[in-house]
Structure 1
Amino acid sequence: MSAKDIYHTAVKNAFIKDGWTITADPYPLEYEDIELYPDLAIEKLISETNTQRKIIIEIKSFISPSLIQDFEKALGQYILYRNLIQLAQDEYQEIYLAIKDGIYETFFQRKSIKEIVKLNQLSLVVINMEREEIVEWIN
């Protein structure tokens, strides 16, 4: 398992504040001879439909000198996890990349990045790390 992201606690607290239950930290995602560990598994009862929504969260900080390298790593990890979820027919069928609001408002607004996000169908959850609050769900 890799080290926890610097925003791990803030993201976790944001989901808890929003009524989500943390069911795994990290979440063991297994298929055949691969075992990987996305950061969180969360669940919430959706009252309108009376169904349990189950989501895997991968947290990325984007703090290195090269945001493009951070994005390359995040994109590759996201796609790998999404593929493993599908192959394993895992109970958690959704995955979101959790990012800081400031990174979303700057780096993720670049035309090229927006197009890559759309092309690869990345689902994002934008978090205000200081207030530990969810700002926006994007899918």
Structure 2
Amino acid sequence: MALKRMDNMGIVVEDLDATIAFFLELGLDLEGRATIEGEWAGRVTGLGDQCVEIAMMRTPDGHGRLELSRFLAPAVVADHRNAPVNALGYLRVMFAVDDLDDTLERVRKHGAQLVGEVVDYKGVYRLCYIRGPEGLLIGLAEEL
């Protein structure tokens, strides 16, 4: 059996509403929100009895999704939001954008900050990393 697709990438946050607003501004669509709880969910995650509020965000092409989660129980146990770009583990999510300058202007209104600088990669892409809500590391790429 072959892999069919990547379904979504999960990101745990404290402020779900602000994070949703940020990703809406970036251009993702809110597919839905729900509270997931009960022992069945804990059997999947290994956390036991859990309660988590989720929001599913979809890219405009319909192929990519982010599952934003705010855990109500059990409590969050670790915080990797300020890890540098060379930290082990999951690093960042990268989005292709039409206009990098316009995108940066819009997401700065939601607290996004440039990590380094916008660079030209061999005349093919303009690239940058930003810190979004709660310090999430996000890559942006504009094809030239």
Q: TM-score, normalised by structure 2?
A: 0.37
Q: TM-score, normalised by structure 1?
A: 0.38
